[in-house]
Structure 1
Amino acid sequence: MLDRAYRQRLEADLARWEADGVVTPAAVAAIRGALPATASRFNIPVVVGIVGGLLIAAAFLAFVAAHWLEIARPSRFAILITGIVASNGLGAWFARTERPILADLCASVGAVIFGAGIALVGQMYHLGDDFAGGMLLWAVGALCAAALTSSRGALAVALVAASIWTCMRIIDLDDGPHLPFVALWLIAGALALIWKSRVAAHLVALATLPWWIATAIRLDLFELTPFLVLANGAALLLGGGLALAATPWPRTREAGGVLSNYGAFALAVVAALEVIASNDVLRAGSDGAPPWAIACGVAGTIAAFAVGVLRREAGAAFAGGAMALMMIATVVWPLRQTGEPWPAYAVVLSAMLCLVVSGMLDGSRARMVAGWLGIAGVIAGITWAVQGSLLRRSAFLAAAGVVAIAMAAVLNRLLPRTET
């Protein structure tokens, strides 16, 4: 089916073309008649049905929990199995009657009951106190349910459980990232590609954030190292997404676009946090990001530049420039021992400017918005920092403004002009 946003743009274009006399009303009607049906939207009966299903599931779980100790162990286990089978059986019936949203909801409820069953059975039989292991089992079970039913809700449950699992395992690690989560994440990403689902692509992209954040904050919170790790992770998401978006396959192109958008926003947030935190809460100096994180950032930067060179896309090249500048910032930040890090400010601000230009050249609204948010955050961090001279900050911002205007004049000559 056609993307809904494209369908809306097409309808607006058809109305304008018809009003301007470019196409005849008969041609407009023929075009509309040739288009496939759009995906069904949520309507009132569907929404009420979803709420009812959630209430029934909550009532079931509350009833079982209230009488758990009074029920014999075999009966408890049978109740859990019955709940899982009933929810999935009802979902199969909804799928057969062409009610995909309700079918997805039933599969999601079944995945939730499965997780509750793991916790209750573990308590009932006094199993080991490996809570993280239980979350892994829940994630694997929900992921299997998602693969069998194509349920986006079950995929969401699996990714949430997997994120909790990996965060708990990361706390216990002495060094390095928690790589088993990456394998599970790749399986979820493969499902999103097979389904050609934008919703699933968003879920998979979101699942990367807890892993990177937990990996970063496990390090010393009073140094810049966690922020540098996050910057490298954002660069990997942005560069990897751009590389996928440059492939000839529609499924990977759409998934790459989603992934690169999340990478752009993550890069902007990290840029602002680096500036704000460097003035107010962090110690001078830092050991820098670990080698594996730097390798991820470098890989994402190379991927963006490769797309820019091979496909002659200036937008991707500017995105690579933004990531390269953030990588340079990972080296510049630790050099400061006393005073304010003016070179780092300039590098991070330039990176966000490159991100805005990248979005404009590629027509990517997400990248443009991320870049502007990053610029606003960086300027706010420089201006309203608790420490340092406000006069020096004003002089720095004025100098940065002059440089930006000079760059605008140069770009105005180099880039092709369009009639307004």
Structure 2
Amino acid sequence: MSRKFLETEGPGWVAEGIISEEQRQKLLARYPPEARALGLLPLLGSILVGLSALSLVAANWQALPNVLRLALLLSSLTGAYAAGAYFLRRGNPDLGHGLIGLGLILFGASIILVSQIYQLVGYDVSGLLAWVVAGVGLSYVYGSRLLVLLTVLIGAAVQTYCVEALGSFSYATALLVAGGLGYYWWRRPEVVSSNVLAVGLLWQAALLVAATHSKITWFFVPAMLVYAVGDWQPQRAGGRALQGPPLVAAYLFMFGLATFGETDTYANVLRPPLLPYLAALAAVFALSVAGKRARGRLDTLLDWLLLLPGFYLPGGLPLAVATLVVLYAHAGSVLARAHRHEDPGQLTIGAVLFVAATMVAYFKLTWAFLDKSLFFLLGGVLLLGLSWYLRRRNAQVLAAAAPPVAQQAGTPPITPPAPSETSSLNV
């Protein structure tokens, strides 16, 4: 159930006497208004203005004297910050945060250009690390999701440069993104910031695996650590938003394993040492279970089905069957949870996952002997049967809950007439 649905249907319920106006207000209080989506105009404006300024200066950079170069950098940097502060004071947060974001971009560009002016050759990331520190600090000062997004992108760019150009992983950059922005997210678990931070942390984890030349399945240990942190978040919406990207990554991996894991050629890429890998994954799993129990979210425990290490099985039929069982079980858990919570969005996701698993099962197991028309017929019958069952269960739940709700709304219960009254009426 969503606030928009309550706002649309609530007045009709009050008019029909199903609930009272006081109860409608209490229901609305349980579903606060969602935060506004991240404004794309300030973000795109900051990026385009920054790129245009950089391209103009870059075209004439070599012809400018060093003093003029420094003056240009300082004036543009201070001008962006001053203009952002001005519009924030005037009550225009979108434009103000956009200009502050532009100043953050110019700050990083200034670091790079100053090093070129004075030919400061560096073999570490200390200069660019200051850029990440500035982004984290500005995110706290202004509390802007735009600055959080820019800082995550800056951290990803700095880490990519370290891995690709310097051949090393910057643990300081990863800690700043995970720790600095992680604490910011914990205090302000907005959905957009949660998704952005989760994607940024997954990128950092992927670069760590690449820099250390580890098996790619080690990626899921830090990825599911991000998921486990979401289990401890008191606000459910923010926690689930943080868990979305890790779950998508795990599902895509399991889907790819079911589709392409036909031979043992993947063994050298996917199979880390068994005991260390399982021990690390079990530790993260225990942390996740503790968080689910503490926050009353054990109904999402079956998300961990996607992390079953089926890649240790031999390729071919055993691996295909095992991964398909996992995909079906996960889709069923999503559908069951959506039914319990009456969540149409999750119900749609569960149906899509069920269809995807069925398609893989057909192409992997029954393509050679099951006619396509029969396959689609069976799939359609299964989905129609599932839809009928869920609608029937939903109607039963609503019918069972209707009398108590009507009584709470103030409708007097209907009592049968007394025996004496009945006899007099018959006469």
Normalising by structure 1, we get a TM-score of 0.71
Indicate the residue corresponding to 2:8 in structure 1: 12
1:6 Cα deviation from its structure 2 partner: 5.6
1:85 Cα deviation from its structure 2 partner: 0.8
Letter in 1 for 2:336: V
1:336 Cα deviation from its structure 2 partner: 0.4
Does residue 264 (structure 1) correspond to residue 264 (structure 2)? The answer is: no
Indicate the residue corresponding to 2:306 in structure 1: 326
1:191 Cα deviation from its structure 2 partner: 1.8
Does residue 383 (structure 1) correspond to residue 362 (structure 2)? The answer is: yes
1:305 Cα deviation from its structure 2 partner: 3.4
Indicate the residue corresponding to 2:134 in structure 1: 141
| Structure 1 range deviating more: 117-126 or 280-289 | 280-289
CA distance in 1, matches of 2:92, 2:141: 17
Give yes or no for contact 1:268–1:374 (8 Å, CA) kept in 2: no
1:159 Cα deviation from its structure 2 partner: 1.0
Q: Flag structure 1 segments of 5+ consecutive residues without an equivalent.
A: none
CA distance in 1, matches of 2:141, 2:37: 24
Does residue 288 (structure 1) correspond to residue 271 (structure 2)? The answer is: yes
CA distance in 2, matches of 1:24, 1:351: 39
Give yes or no for contact 2:306–2:330 (8 Å, CA) kept in 1: yes
How many aligned residue pairs are there? 381
Q: Flag structure 2 segments of 5+ consecutive residues without an equivalent.
A: 400-427
CA distance in 2, matches of 1:59, 1:96: 27
CA distance in 2, matches of 1:305, 1:131: 40
Indicate the residue corresponding to 2:231 in structure 1: 242
CA distance in 2, matches of 1:203, 1:196: 11
- 5 Å-filtered alignment, 1:39-58, equals 47=41, 56-58=49-51
Does residue 276 (structure 1) correspond to residue 266 (structure 2)? The answer is: no
Give yes or no for contact 2:38–2:145 (8 Å, CA) kept in 1: no
| Structure 1 range deviating more: 189-198 or 290-299 | 290-299
Larger radius of gyration: 2
- 5 Å-filtered alignment, 1:212-361, equals 212-216=205-209, 225-226=215-216, 228-244=217-233, 247=234, 250=235, 253-279=236-262, 282-283=265-266, 288-289=271-272, 294-295=278-279, 297-307=281-291, 309=293, 313=296, 316-323=297-304, 325-328=305-308, 330=309, 332-336=310-314, 340-341=318-319, 342-361=321-340
CA distance in 2, matches of 1:131, 1:281: 40
Normalising by structure 2, we get a TM-score of 0.70
Letter in 1 for 2:229: G
Does residue 166 (structure 1) correspond to residue 148 (structure 2)? The answer is: no
1:335 Cα deviation from its structure 2 partner: 2.7
* Identity in percent: 17
Greater relative contact order structure (CA < 8 Å, 6+ sep): 2
CA distance in 2, matches of 1:172, 1:63: 26
Indicate the residue corresponding to 2:65 in structure 1: 72
What are the Cα deviations for residues 262-310 of structure 1, in whole angstroms up to 9, with x where unaligned?
3333332222122223138943576634677645532443344335555
CA distance in 2, matches of 1:131, 1:197: 34
Indicate the residue corresponding to 1:418 in structure 2: 397
Indicate the residue corresponding to 1:84 in structure 2: 77
Change (3 A) 1:167 1:62: closer
1:217 Cα deviation from its structure 2 partner: 5.3
Indicate the residue corresponding to 2:416 in structure 1: none
Give yes or no for contact 2:261–2:316 (8 Å, CA) kept in 1: no
1:147 Cα deviation from its structure 2 partner: 2.4
CA distance in 1, matches of 2:13, 2:359: 45
1:89 Cα deviation from its structure 2 partner: 0.6
Indicate the residue corresponding to 2:423 in structure 1: none
1:207 Cα deviation from its structure 2 partner: 1.2
SS at match of 2:120: coil
1:369 Cα deviation from its structure 2 partner: 5.2
1:211 Cα deviation from its structure 2 partner: 2.1
CA distance in 1, matches of 2:33, 2:206: 41
Change (3 A) 1:366 1:333: farther
**RMSD, aligned α-carbons:** 4.7
CA distance in 2, matches of 1:99, 1:202: 25
Give yes or no for contact 1:167–1:214 (8 Å, CA) kept in 2: yes
Indicate the residue corresponding to 2:114 in structure 1: 121
Change (3 A) 1:77 1:310: closer
Change (3 A) 1:235 1:173: farther
Indicate the residue corresponding to 2:411 in structure 1: none
Change (3 A) 1:348 1:335: same
CA distance in 1, matches of 2:181, 2:241: 15
CA distance in 2, matches of 1:354, 1:37: 28
| Structure 1 range deviating more: 50-59 or 93-102 | 50-59
